[in-house]
Amino acid sequence: MLSLRLVISILLVIACSMIGIIKSRSFENREHILRESIFLFKGIENEIKFSLTTIPNAIEVVRQRMNTYLKDVLGSISLILLEANATDEKILNELDKLTSLTTYDKQIILTGITSLGTSDIAGEEGIINITISSLENELNDAIESKKKNSKMYKTVGLATGLIIAIILV
């Protein structure tokens, strides 16, 4: 009977620790996706300026250089932009697949993407610069949040598992 409790306790500690690790990874993922988003908008700016590429094609060209989950989401967004009935809701539904981003992060990316193509090249450069500036602010917030919370969630997960294990034994 004691060995069964001990095995269950060890499994609980491992499970709670894993939950803490998974939660802490969402902070790291947010930072990584925001960095990739900044890279995306800088790449789009270069494509628009120097290649005079359309927005969906510019997104696709930059997307091909990426190797993260954002690459798949951008592929879907690029296809949505090529449709005649592209809406913000469709793009936002694709951005919702990036679960580690906050609603505000997604809104910045959505606004940046949907605002492109509505003005001349100089206007688009301004839109991109504003979007990049907002994403950099969010990136700084994500880095600070990761420093504060990442280790805490790992520790809380382990501590919770240990407390439950002590209660069981």
For the purposes of burial, counting CB atoms within 10 Å of the CB of 128, is it exposed (0-12), middle (13-18) or buried (19 or more)? Answer: buried
Number of domains in the chain: 1
Residue 59: give the domain boundaries. 35-154
The rounded distance, in Å, linking the Cα atoms of 113 and 120 is: 15
98 within domain boundaries: yes
* Better pLDDT: 38 or 75: 38
101 within domain boundaries: yes
5 within domain boundaries: no
2 within domain boundaries: no
26-35 confidence digits (pLDDT tens): 888 888 889 8
Sign of CA dihedral 7, 8, 10, 11: positive
63-113 confidence digits (pLDDT tens): 888 877 788 888 888 788 777 676 778 888 888 887 788 888 888 888 888
The rounded distance, in Å, linking the Cα atoms of 97 and 93 is: 7
102 within domain boundaries: yes
The rounded distance, in Å, linking the Cα atoms of 26 and 127 is: 28
